[in-house]
Amino acid sequence: MSEIHGAVGSYVVNALEGSELSEFEAHLAVCETCRREVVEFSETAGHLSTLVETPPPPALRASVLSAIKEVRPLPPESGADVHDEPAPRRLLTTPPDSPDAEPAVEVDELAVRRLRRSQRYLGLAAAAALVVALGLGGWVVNLRQDRPAQVAGSTLEAQLLAAPDLKVVSTPMRNGGRASFRVSESLNKALFIGQDLPAPGPGKAYQLWTIDGAAAVPDNLINGGQRQQAWLSGDVREADGAAITIEPAGGSETPTAPILASVSL
């Protein structure tokens, strides 16, 4: 057994990273035996989950079921459809003059990896679609580290997710929503993700703030909704924290309503 074959177990339990992973994935593309073992061992590893069954928090059910309402299931796999990834586009109210106003597309590394994995099932028809053809070329030789770059329009978010100092801070909001900030100081970027944000009311909007010492610096505006995300435009590196309030639709210079959630950055 060659040494690379031997990594199949580690691959299945996701214990490979970096060059180990990319080398094995390159091998996988050409080794039928390993592909078969991956399927078998994944099945086996899945049984381990019986040892740790834990009921999720009851509220999660409603949250999941409401989250899927916004997501269209992919069409069945047939080459030509593959570029039709409905990467969920989130409503974003970043002001158009913001440097970060590129459309926020959820980086779905899992989907990308799955796509890459399933590329061997694609028929020749796939090559007809330029996007797909480019994608395949990329996927075959692509290292895992590069994968966020495969998702068009998501480079900033991909960079954030790949940042070595990425920090995720989540907190419940007083009105029932959930605020989560993905922050990288090295990139000086923070992405706010709000879940289950109740409608802010007529003529109102959610406003983000960065907290600098005792001062609240106005930041971007967001609508209510099941899942909303927006980049903070403020200086994340200098900020001590971030907060969210409900303000008049045009935004305020200082908070005029109670803080619904705040986090330290």
User: Which token pair is 158?
Assistant: 């991909």
Compare residues 65 and 214 and give the one whose CB is closer to another protein: 65
- Contacts of 144-149 with C-beta under 8 Å, sequence gap 24+, read 144/17, 144/18, 144/21, 144/22, 144/25, 144/113, 145/18, 145/22, 147/109, 147/112, 147/113, 147/116, 148/107, 148/109, 148/112
Is 199 a binding residue for another protein by CB under 8 A? The answer is no
Is 118 a binding residue for another protein by CB under 8 A? The answer is yes
Is 96 a binding residue for another protein by CB under 8 A? The answer is no
Is 143 a binding residue for another protein by CB under 8 A? The answer is no
> For the window 148-187, what string marks contact with another protein as x by the rule CB under 8 A?
-------------xx--xxxx-x---------x-------
- Of 37-45, 91-99, 215-223, 240-248: span binding another protein (CB under 8 A): 37-45
Torsion of CA 225, 230, 235, 238, to 10 degrees: 50
- Of 53-61, 132-140, 228-236, 246-254: span binding another protein (CB under 8 A): 53-61
Is 146 a binding residue for another protein by CB under 8 A? The answer is no
Compare residues 99 and 164 and give the one whose CB is closer to another protein: 164
33 burial (CB, 10 Å; 0-12 / 13-18 / 19+) is exposed
Is 73 a binding residue for another protein by CB under 8 A? The answer is yes
Q: How far is the CB of 121 from another protein (least distance, A)?
A: 9
DSSP for 44-70, written as a single string: HHHHGGGGG--PPPTHHHHHHHHHHTT
Compare residues 55 and 202 and give the one whose CB is closer to another protein: 55
